Chains A and B, each alone.
Chain A
Amino acid sequence: MSNERFKGTDQYVATDDLMMAVNAAITLARPLLIKGEPGTGKTQLALEIARALERPLYEWHIKSTSKAQQGLYEYDAVSRLRDSQLGDARVHDIGNYIVKGRLWEAFDSAVQPVLLIDEIDKADIEFPNDLLRELDRMEFYVYETRELVRARHRPIIIITSNNEKELPDAFLRRCFFHFIRFPDEATMRAIVDVHYPGLKKELLAEALRAFFEVRAMPGLKKKPSTSELLDWLKLLLAEDIQPEALRSADTKKMIPILHGALLKNEQDVHLFEQLAFMHRRVR
């Protein structure tokens, strides 16, 4: 059991319930499954845990073609065949052709590492099932070399999911689960503060107001998220926009300036324009 507790970092604002979930996962050495709207910092969480606890981080990004086996190891049979035809001496040791995956690397780490399995829902439906034993016992068997690989320290495993696929129950049972809610305004202020400490108070207030207004619009295809707000603020800062500009844009031109950072879909921009137009006529 490790005594360290995760409390967020100077770069990452963690809510109390998120901290509880992380600490429970660390203490009991079980994987933590993180879900939430895109852009709420799911992936970032793993990076920050590694940074805060000063642990090495292993990232395993999942694609639709990823196989569980790739995380363990891959047997490069093609190279071996080639070597055998070239008469290379390496060919006699099959171990030369075993390529370690991210999970194996994490198991090999000398100190307890953080392992990020990013966007597990992208993979095939069988993917999580194929990792059950590995995540449970933190060991797996290499058939080619007949060796058992066991984790030297149970890694802190952070798994993120965007809910594209349902995860199997057996897999869920082995994880802790946390759903990152979209931050409320106070949390959002804290988050912005962490990223842009020098931000002018009025600009922040106006920007946040505009941001939550945009988010509250019914029918948006892609709601702007935290990461998009941060991008937008960066733009506003770079362009040195005055807070008044955001406010005056309200009456004449409803679309917030530099809206490209917030609205990522032409239908959304269109919808926004329409609503802005209607809004103006009402006034």
Chain B
Amino acid sequence: MLVRFFFALRAAGVPVSITEFLTLLEALQQRVAQLSAQEFYWLARACLVKDERHYDRFDLAFGEIFQGAEQLFQQLLARVPADWLRGLAARVLSAEEKRRIEALGGWDQLLATLRERLREQRERHAGGGKWIGTGGTSPFGANGFNPEGIRIGEHGSRKHRAVKVWERREFRNLDDSVELGTRNLKLALRKLRKFAREGAAEELDLDGTIDATARNGGMLDLKLVPERHNAVKVLLFLDVGGSMDEHVRVCEELFSAARSEFKHLAHFYFHNFPYENLWKDNRRRYEALIPTEQVLRTYGHDYRAIVVGDATMSPYEIVQPGGSIEHWNKEAGALWMQRLRAAFPRLVWLNPQPQAHWEHTPSVRIARELVAERMFPLSIAGLDLAIRELQRPLSGMGAAHALAAATSVTQDPAPEVR
């Protein structure tokens, strides 16, 4: 049974090794856990799971294997955080929505029913009106149309309607496998850090030199280390509003986590496409506009620019003056993008849309052309490619270009800074 459990864990994606399994057996032999399913659960978890993000998968596999132990399963179910869910609902839902929840007999009823269904249901299910699955009108499951629905088990929110994604186990929120989410954020961060360290000169390691010299019996032995601070300067342009918000948040978190690693990092927001104004503070986006021209002027062409946006819009918003959906833009977005590229020759675009969709969206094609095909998906691999692109040395052409563009823009009468 334990061996079966071991393989179930591996199948569930918990990286358990033989050493850890043997540790568990040793602990059992030493009677660390008394004869109680609960204690065994805790012990097995401490032995086999080394990352809280895997707790959830562990719970799943454990439940599957030991479901014969009826009592144990009950205990696991009892850990459904009903209070948490209710507390959340009280905060998130409007009075009207709460009234609608009453339609199903209120939260307690809803949760009680859910628990019952979770117990009854063993297999994956889609469609239909009762079981937890995808689609359908049952209040449980994902992508349904019932406004009281509790989302279970789907990663994307197709209708943006259900109350909460919830996979019945409490560590669900620690296990997150969105494209560039908290889960692989660290990996991405490591890549960024490597990127940030690039270009740093070597400096004299005084301690190392003294130590090595002393070991050498007084003969001077110079030691050099890479400079601790780094030389990379980054400008971040983020598309906000609507569908992009989640991705932008992830991106912002990512870069602010790496903030200390860069010599300089500034971020600006735009909506759909950069035009003549950007802003730094979303809450004051209508008062505190920053002329794009000022950004072009302020930051040197040694800055790397990273644009994050889905580039999914009407092509007019890019190519036509006045195409912006929010205001009258005197000059087309495409022109502004060209200026950005000229001012920051090392510019990449990160696109959270799946790459497969790019070809079918005209605006994405246009944007790609505008950034000279330097558009990359917002994933670890895409980030890697983008960073490689950013690390490329500036060609003389690019620099000359940048200079010309910068002067041409500054000759325009500068709009007033509001």
Contacts and interface: CB of A to CB of B under 8 A. Distances in A.
The answer on A and B forming one complex is yes
Interface of A: 1, 16-17, 20-21, 23-25, 27-28, 30, 32-33, 35, 77-78, 80-81, 84-85, 165-167, 169, 172-179, 184, 216, 218
B214 A21 contact: no
A81 B213 CA distance: 9
A21 B41 CA distance: 11
B32 A78 contact: no
A166 B53 CA distance: 12
B46 A24 contact: yes
Given A28-B30, A177-B49, A216-B87, A77 B214 contact: yes
Given A165-B186, A179-B55, A28 B214 contact: no
Contact of A21 (B46, B55, B87, B88): B46
A177 B51 contact: yes
Q: Which 9 A-B pairs have the closest CB atoms?
A: A77-B214, A172-B50, A179-B52, A21-B46, A20-B42, A81-B214, A17-B42, A177-B50, A176-B46
A11 B320 CA distance: 69
Contacts of B33: 20, 24
A165 B190 CA distance: 9
Given A24-B32, A166-B186, A30 B210 contact: no
Contact of A20 (B26, B32, B88, B215): B32
Interface in B45-98: 45-47, 49-52, 55, 83, 87-88, 91
19 contacts: A16-B38, A17-B46, A20-B32, A20-B33, A20-B39, A20-B42, A20-B43, A20-B46, A24-B33, A27-B30, A77-B215, A78-B211, A81-B214, A81-B217, A84-B217, A165-B186, A166-B187, A169-B15, A173-B17
B50 A81 contact: no
Contact of B50 (A78, A175, A218): A175
Q: In the complex, which range does the number of interface residues on chain B fall in?
A: 35 or more
Contacts of B46: 17, 20-21, 24-25, 32, 176-178
Given A28-B30, A176-B47, A216-B87, 20 more contacts: A16-B39, A17-B42, A17-B45, A17-B46, A20-B32, A20-B33, A20-B39, A24-B33, A27-B27, A27-B30, A35-B52, A77-B214, A166-B186, A166-B187, A172-B51, A174-B19, A177-B46, A178-B46, A179-B55, A218-B91
A17 B39 CA distance: 8
B114 to A, nearest CB: 20
A178 B49 CA distance: 9
Nearest to A30: B23
Contacts of B218: 81, 85
A169 B39 CA distance: 25
A28 B42 contact: no
Nearest to B26: A28
B208 to A, nearest CB: 11
Contacts of A77: 211, 214-215
A184 B79 CA distance: 12
A199 to B, nearest CB: 23
B20 interface: yes
Contacts of A33: 50
A204 to B, nearest CB: 18
Interface of B: 15, 17, 19-20, 23, 26-27, 30, 32-33, 38-39, 42-43, 45-47, 49-52, 55, 83, 87-88, 91, 186-187, 210-211, 213-215, 217-218
A165 to B, nearest CB: 7
A24 B87 contact: no
Contacts of A184: 83
Nearest to B19: A173
B43 A24 contact: yes
Nearest to A23: B32
Nearest to B39: A20
Contacts of B45: 17
A232 to B, nearest CB: 20
B328 to A, nearest CB: 32
A69 B51 CA distance: 26
A16 B43 CA distance: 11
Contacts of B42: 16-17, 20-21
Nearest to A79: B214
Nearest to B27: A24
A240 B91 CA distance: 31
A173 B30 contact: no
Contact of A28 (B23, B39, B187, B215): B23
B172 to A, nearest CB: 13
Contact of B210 (A1, A21, A78, A173): A78
Contacts of B43: 20-21, 24
A6 to B, nearest CB: 12
A27 B88 CA distance: 41
A163 to B, nearest CB: 8
A35 B54 CA distance: 13
Contact of B214 (A27, A78, A178, A218): A78
Contacts of B49: 177
Indicate the member of B42, B213, B218 with the most A CB atoms within 10 Å: B42
Contacts of A81: 213-214, 217-218
B32 A173 contact: no
Indicate the member of B30, B38, B47 with the most A CB atoms within 10 Å: B47
Contacts of B32: 20, 23-24, 27-28
Contacts of B38: 16
Contact of A1 (B30, B52, B211): B30
A167 B52 CA distance: 13
Nearest to B217: A81
B384 to A, nearest CB: 17
A176 B51 CA distance: 10
Contacts of A172: 50-51
A16 B75 CA distance: 14
A1 B31 CA distance: 11
A4 to B, nearest CB: 13
Contacts of B27: 24, 27-28
A175 B91 CA distance: 40
A1 B88 CA distance: 46
